[in-house]
Amino acid sequence: MMKEQIWHILVVCIFLNIPVMAQSQKATLYFKDGTQLTGLGKTISKRRVKFRKSSKTKPEKYSFSKLDKLVIHEDGDEKVYKEIKLMGKEDSIVLQEVLIGRLSLYKTESHGQSPPFSGNGFAPGNAGMAGGNFYSIQNYYVLKDGVDGVVHLTSSQFFGKNFKKGASAYFKDCPSLVEKIQTREYKKRDIEEIIKYYNNNCQ
């Protein structure tokens, strides 16, 4: 494999881990002991939050392991982030709430810029400059009541046929929903509608 190709792969992998929330925003930390703090915060890694009580105070770092949730207040809306165990594993993951119900939907989101290409292939010296494409990737997780841990259901980068197969297997306890997925009435872009249908129509 050429050096340029190897460097290309490394750069893409780095960009995939760039968090979406890059600037401090109004936030509330809810701790597991029942206390809470309101101020300015942002995620600085998969499991830590950088937080300050005001723009004039010194920032502190908090682990999600001590938090019940992080709430980001943005334009009158609230984005809730929680650390939840992955089913069948000891690891946990910080996820954003999308829909809460008997079956809940969560997601992660990462974005970045793919490296540009020259006429002869990838140009290592130009990474991050004009020519690359900006992208956003969402990974969706589901959590059923009474189940210990979330399950990764789909990603915006998956092919449609992978979602059709995986979702049909996961929702096998709801034949009417499986039929809608199999006939492509519901596709992966309809993930929120799928979760709502399950909560409203499936036992």
Both structure tokens of 158: 């998956």
Find the mean pLDDT for residues 12-25: 50
What does DSSP say about strands 103-113 and 92-99: parallel, antiparallel, or unpaired? antiparallel
Q: How far apart are CA 72 and CA 38, in angstroms?
A: 10
* Of 109-118, 126-135, 163-172, 176-185, the least confident: 126-135
CB-based contact 5:104 (threshold 8 Å): no
- Each residue's pLDDT tens digit, 28-73: 999 999 999 999 998 877 788 999 999 899 999 999 999 999 999 9
The span from the first CA to the last CA of the chain, in angstroms, equals: 52
Residue 194 Cα distances to 168, 181, 198, 201, angstroms: 11, 9, 6, 10
pTM for this structure? 0.76
Q: How far apart are CA 107 and CA 48, in angstroms?
A: 17
Handedness of CA 196, 148, 108, 167 (dihedral sign): negative
Closest CA to 21 of 53, 49, 58: 49
For residue 16, what pLDDT band results from cuts at 50, 70 and 90?
A: very low
Q: How far apart are CA 201 and CA 184, in angstroms?
A: 18
- Each residue's pLDDT tens digit, 91-133: 899 999 999 999 999 999 876 666 665 555 554 444 444 556 7
For residue 5, what pLDDT band results from cuts at 50, 70 and 90?
A: very low
Find the mean pLDDT for residues 77-81: 93
What is the predicted pLDDT for the residue at 26? 94
Average pLDDT score over the chain: 82
For residue 18, what pLDDT band results from cuts at 50, 70 and 90?
A: very low
**Beta-bridge partner residues of 123:** none
pLDDT over 90 for what percent of the chain? Answer: 58
